[in-house]
Amino acid sequence: MAAPDGRSATRERGSATDIAGVVVLSGCAVWSLISAAGREARPEGVLLAVFAVAAGYACGRICGTLLPVAAASAAALAALGLAIASRQGVPGAIAGTPIQPGHTGAAAALLVLGAGAACCAAAAARPAALRLALRMLALAVACTALALGSVAGCAAALGILLCSLAAVRMRHRTVALVGLAVATGLVVATSWGVAEDTLPDGLTVSLQGQLTQNRVALWRDAITLAKDDPVRGVGPDRFGKLSTTAQQSLGSDGKPHSASLQQAAEQGVVGVALLGAAFGWMLYGLWRSPRSTPVVLSAGAALSALAVLASVGNALSFTPVTAGAGLLAGLATAHTAGEGSAERGTHTARWADAAADSRTL
């Protein structure tokens, strides 16, 4: 009996993940065109986001294979630099900016991705001094978020760092990834509950105080538009033209500040399902990744934090953010020579022992 090649098994896992990604991203692109057909809609934004995710993912897979630590470190520094350069995207960073209350912005999302990339690099690095330096970089990202006025970004970056530290002692990734998915789903469900006004009165009042009345009104407009055409929605990039709240808001960007509610309003239930499938595909890729569990869970925590920000803000409206999400997912699912070799060696040894036993019999 021949022992199976560990590299072949890894290629098979990677192929399944890539096929799933092609199907999901293609579905997102095609459905945006279908929902825009016959209307004065603009699907270019959705198509650009899909292209950015695909390009970032491919780049992450390539760079992660060649230089896993260096590539993740460079991604963290690039995200930090872009966040500082786009500080006007953070609410309250510059007085008098026409940013709507509740607008998460590009900077907070980029800082979350930067913290995730730094933690992935630290988890993959071997020298203890380098691991410490990269974790200090993640801490610096969190401090930068606080300095820029993004409390949510700071809390998310610190949470990613803590998850990365805890992942060092974890051997199984399944439970942790399921927990991240469930937590993200609860946040999305809560945002829908606020929009539908189905939560208990005390909880609704408390959340509305944190979310602001303007954002809640935008969410309720999105629910109303979704009910008008639940299958196809009103068409990509048409929310701002049809939402009364968006038209009456000073400095409105025409977005409902929630990725799932925007999909429901503009692309219907199919759009929401495809958005969830894209997030599920990334978690599925992490679950099947040949990288070590600390690397996988660091990336999973960052992507889940980004999904939470996107469910209550406008993070996915920025191309650098969607490209960064794809890049981080690619880095965490790339096949490297160093990581995972012990696990593959163990499986090969088991097959060799089994083959020896069969020859003996």
Model pLDDT, residue 314 = 86
Mean pLDDT confidence for 196-210: 83
Is the pLDDT at 361 greater than 50, yes or no? no
| Type of residue found at 294 | P
Compute the distance between CA of residue 266 and CA of residue 235 in angstroms, rounded to an integer.
Answer: 5
DSSP letter for each residue of 102-150: T--HHHHHHHHHHHHHHHHHHHH--SHHHHHHHHHHHHHHHHHHHHTT-
Model-level pTM?
0.87
Mean pLDDT confidence for 249-275: 90
| Type of residue found at 170 | M
Is the pLDDT at 205 greater than 50, yes or no? yes
List, for residues 335-355, the tens digit of each pLDDT value.
886 565 444 443 333 333 334
List, for residues 98-113, the tens digit of each pLDDT value.
444 444 467 899 999 9
Compute the distance between CA of residue 317 and CA of residue 126 in angstroms, rounded to an integer.
Answer: 36
Compute the distance between CA of residue 149 and CA of residue 73 in angstroms, rounded to an integer.
Answer: 24
List, for residues 122-135, the tens digit of each pLDDT value.
999 999 999 999 99
Model pLDDT, residue 206 = 84
Model pLDDT, residue 94 = 36
Contact 330, 117 (CB under 8 A): no
Domain ranges of the chain: 13-338
Is the pLDDT at 235 greater than 60, yes or no? yes
Contact 161, 284 (CB under 8 A): no
Compute the distance between CA of residue 73 and CA of residue 79 in angstroms, rounded to an integer.
Answer: 10
User: Coil, strand, or helix at residue 94?
Assistant: coil
User: Coil, strand, or helix at residue 80?
Assistant: helix
DSSP letter for each residue of 222-253: HHHHHHHSTTT-S-TT-HHHH-HHHHHSTT--
Place of tokens 């969607």: 322
List, for residues 50-71, the tens digit of each pLDDT value.
999 999 999 999 999 999 999 9
